[in-house]
Amino acid sequence: MTLGPKGFVILLRIIAATAVICVFAMLAMLIIASFSPKSEFGAWTLANYIDMAGMRQLWPAIFNTLVVGIGTTTFLLMFALPFTWVLSRTDFASKGVLLTILTVSLALPAFVTAMAYVWLLNPNSGIFNRLLESAFGWSRVFNVYSLGWICFIQALMLTPAAVFMMLPAFRNFDSTLEEAASVSGISPRRAFFKIVLPTLAPAVGAVSIFFFILAVEIFDVVGVIGMPGNIDVITTLVYQSTYTVYGPPDYGFAATLGMPLLALCAIGVLIYLWLLRRADRYSMLSGKNRAPILRDLGRWRFAVWGLIGTWGTLAVVLPLLTVIWTSLTPYLQPPSMAALSQLSFSSYRGAAGLVWAPFVNTILLVIGTIVFSIVWSVSVSWLATRVRSKIDKALDAIVFLSLAVPGMLAAVAMQFLALSAYHWVPLLGTLWLIIITMAIRSLAFTTRTLNSSALQIHSSLEEAAYVSGVGRMRTFLRIFLPVIKPAIMFAVLVTTLISARELTIPLMLYSPRSSVISTTIFDLQATGRYDEAAVFSLLIIAILLVLALASRRRTAPIA
Amino acid sequence: MSEPTNDKPLLSVRGLAVSYGRAGQSENAVQYLDLDVSEGEMFVLLGPSGCGKTTLLRAVAGLQAPHSGSVTIDGQDVYNSKSGNSVPPEKRPVSMVFQSYALWPHMSVAENVAFPLREGRRGVPRDEVAERVTEVLEMLGLSNMRDRPVTTLSGGQQQRVALARALALRPRLLLMDEPLSNLDYELQVRLRGQVKELVSRIGVTTLYVTHNQNEALEMADRLAVMDAGKFRQIGSPRELYHGPSSEFVARFIGDMNLLPARIAEVGPNLWVDTPLGRLRAGTNCIDDAKVGQSCLFGVRQEDIEIGDNQGADNIVSASVDRATFSGDSISYQMNVNGTGLQCRLHRRFDVPPGRDVLLRLPVEHCLVVPTDGQTGAS
């Protein structure tokens, strides 16, 4: 293929434009849907907004959503900050152990952990509650159906991601700043509060906002715990208005209900970007970074072990054991001699009959999402870092905007689009619709990852190929892509991990022929088939564990 | 004197202007330049950073889009703003050595050299590739590291790989963008000679960018001194050294004392009035100089000698303010009736500060240069 410089730019812009069109279509559909009665396209009405304003659950749901956001972020920092600190700035001897535990925990999808906690701590039949009752006669000690547990479980699950996000900032912290303080006669304690903390504050703030947004938009935990516990948040209201059990699906009203969430996330993204710029400004100051001074933990290492043990038990060991136990028992019951005699693999046989289609669909979903996401994002990144015209920067910015649209609302918009366009493009209920929605959602992350890598690589590498007679396409394929390969591999691994365990988007969009493992688990759990849900959970955990450990090897030089 | 002798120059640039940002809105990085480089010539662009020399080079390569003018390489019209013709870099008969070397980090030494031959559009016959790679690696003494990853090489070795990659294409025009500036000083000095020798042995026409005046003087057949997007002077190293046509060039090349002066007498002998007194200059760089015209009197530090003959021309009496010993020579800050004068003398003239000496400013090395703003002799 011979393409001139212009032809090649046009080709990539066409590819990037399809992504931008999808993002725009998604945003437009969300807004149009919110003004549409029921799920009818184009009949403008304010009825949805009027209905929303008169809804009894609205304000409690908004309040609960904020509580979930703030509560999750607070619990999250209680684990993530010490872990990050220990990993980056202390002489803690077993950093590898901590990193491995954090990585392994990525193999547990949040909805699986939430399910495990329901099985353990629901007030009536929870395994742990039953144990306490039979041992001490205390009944209903724990009630998992509460905002506190929702926040806590979300925090447990988000901890590794938060640690991996904060680590670079902590690690690159220029320790000559501390040295400068100490040779100027400032005590280490004062230096920590007056120099280290203020310098790292924007980075920590940005990460906090990021996880606040994530905490209010993920459906995994509120879907499993909030809905049966009658705790409304915005995402559960959106879900319920589209779910047939509660009446005919009304995507128009769902979009309207999502507007407060969209506003919340949009504000969050703006604050996030603002903080990120501040954090960048600080990090620009350090020219030559020296290896950080590692603090002697001394006796504190016992406290660190205690924290790791607590988190590891609650986030990994306990949920995993619960899932295994539940998969082997016919109904929820605490471990006992009687229970041991009932252990069987019968639920595995039951699950085996259901597994094939969801398993294949999950693999297709992962592959499809990666292909769309990577083809789109390498095009956008090349244009944004190499051509850098206004058009290309706009493409990049619009793609990044998609970050502000929560997954559930993206799904509502795409479902509305697919319904409206059903006669022309039969995407409704297909895996394609899920793949495209997932790919759009992943773009903000993949383009950021590729952009930062592409920016670090001087464009003279490609110019050297041009001036020695190598064409554009060939230079792109043989120089640009291989050189940013580590970033591409990282993006692929993270996208794989995220799309394999994604619940929200497939749950909103799937039909019986496009069900994946996560939606199957969710349905089994919702219909009380806990043992089979547990078997499927073990399957997805096994798949994710392989991926997580692969990513551990990939990120090892970083982490 | 050293104007191109061939009828057809290999590189011909006419009215070339390059601006960053939108054309006409921002200041031009390169301002309407004309340049001819003849076949086999080593032409150096010299100037301070930001003068537009790299921009000009990149425009010739096709990496930077000009907004007006034309570029012709080996008779091929590669850019012309009038006809709208713009040949992309991959189709121009050039190759380039980058300041950063721009070696492809995922390839070995031999792969770096072979990749453009194999995948490029310069029509290298397939069966010739291996032969050319071997030949060029041998020429640059890289044969024993042909399979090494380029990331494991030292700076000097990387530089040679970059040169090998560029030469293997047998370009009509070789472009070099500060190819030595990332090396340490001693290696730089050694490689200047080697690169010059290699390039002239192959006979490839070369456009070479540097900000280092010594490098420019040593390597150039001809050079252009650039400032603010314009050529200040074009000529051979000797012409520019001995006859700078402007204050800028005089200051940029060599360590020159430049004193404000006024022309006192023209004719066979040129006399000027300076703060040091009335002095005679051997070289006049001003077109039709007139008596009373203000100008600059220049003499290089290394040309000043210790005087002994009281009655001869250009003898001044000075006192030593400061002496700085630097091994082979001693740099002096002299004071002549309150005017500072720098000179560099052989170490055998070791005079302590405070002592008075007689200095001779040899007439044949004294110049009269126009102040910037006036036009100089071209």
Residue contact A466–B100, C-beta within 8 A: no
**pLDDT tens readout for residues B322-354:** 999 988 899 999 999 889 999 999 888 888 899
Is B21 near chain A, with CB under 8 Å?
Answer: no
**In whole angstroms, what is the distance from residue B33 CA to residue B79 CA?**
14
Q: Considering only the beta carbons, identify the residue of A458, A467, A474 that sits closest to B95.
A: A467
Q: Are B29 and B193 in contact (CB under 8 A)?
A: no
Axis-axis angle for helices B155-168, B109-119 (nearest 10): 20
> Given a cut of 60, is residue B26 above it in pLDDT?
no
Among all residues of chain B, which has the CA nearest to that of A483? B106
Q: What is the pLDDT of residue A141?
A: 81
CB contact under 8 A, B119 and A461: no
Looking at the DSSP bridge assignments, the partners of residue B96 are B175
Distance CA B33, CA B14 (A): 6
N residues, chain B: 378
CA angle B312, B317, B321 (to 5 degrees): 150
Over 80: is that where the pLDDT of A523 sits?
yes
User: Any CB–CB contact under 8 A between B122 and chain A?
Assistant: yes
Half-sphere exposure at residue A44, Cβ-oriented, CA atoms within 13 angstroms:
1
Six-digit token pair at B330?
A: 């001693």
Distance (Å) from the alpha carbon of B134 to chain A's nearest alpha carbon: 18
Count how many Cα atoms sit within 13 Å of the Cα of residue B169 in the half-sphere of its side chain: 36
Sign of CA dihedral A490, A495, A501, A503: positive
**ipTM of the complex as predicted:** 0.82
pLDDT at B25 over 80: no
Burial letters for A481-498: b for 16+ Cβ neighbours within 10 Å, e otherwise?
eebbeebbebbbbbbbbb
With pLDDT > 70 as the criterion, what percentage of chain A qualifies? 94
Report residue A401's pLDDT band, with 50, 70 and 90 as the boundaries: confident
What domains sit in chain A, N to C, each tagged with a CATH number?
A: 1-34+353-559 (1.10.3720.10), 58-286+297-344 (1.10.3720.10)
Compare A51 and A284 and report the one with higher pLDDT: A51
Give the CA distances from residue A169 to residues A203, A280, A474, in Å, rounded to whole numbers and listed in that order.
Answer: 7, 10, 36
CA distance A514 to chain B (A): 41
User: Measured between alpha carbons, how far is A538 from A422 in angstroms, rounded to an integer?
Assistant: 36
> A247: how many CB neighbours lie within 10 A of its CB?
10
A478/B96 Cβ within 8 A: no
Spatial neighbors of B348 by CB under 8 A, at least 6 apart, are none
Cα torsion for B159, B165, B167, B172, to the nearest 10°? -120
Q: Using CA atoms, how far apart are residues A519 and A515, in angstroms rounded to an integer?
A: 6
What would the pLDDT profile of B358-376 be if each residue is shown by its tens digit?
999 999 899 999 987 654 4
Pairing of strands B256-265, B294-300: antiparallel
Considering only CB atoms, B89 lies closest to which of A2, A467, A474, namely A467
Q: Mutation test of the interface with chain B: which of A6, A453, A467, choosing the one with the most B Cβ atoms within 10 A?
A: A467
Nearest alpha-carbon partner for A465 in B114, B35, B355, B108? B114
Give the pLDDT band (50/70/90) at residue A409.
very high
Return the residue matching tokens 């002095």: B279
How many residues are there in chain A?
559
The Cα–Cα gap between B51 and B60 comes to: 16
Chain B residue with Cα closest to A468: B95
Among chain B residues, the shortest Cα distance to A457 is held by B102
Mean pLDDT of the residues in chain A = 88
A554 vs A148 pLDDT, higher one: A148
Condensed to tens digits (0 to 9), the pLDDT of residues A338-374 reads 778 888 888 888 788 888 899 999 999 999 999 999 9
- Chain A contacts to B (CB-CB under 8 A): 2, 4-5, 458, 460-461, 463-472, 474, 478-479, 482-483, 485
- The residue of chain B with its CA nearest to that of A463 is B63
Share of chain B above pLDDT 90, in %: 67
Provide the pairing of β-strand B315-325 with B94-97.
unpaired
Q: What is the mean pLDDT of residues B44-49?
A: 94
The domains of chain B, with CATH numbers, are: 11-242 (3.40.50.300), 256-369 (2.40.50.140)
Which is nearest to B42 in space by CA: B227, B155, B205? B205
Cα distance between residue A369 and residue A257, in whole Å: 27
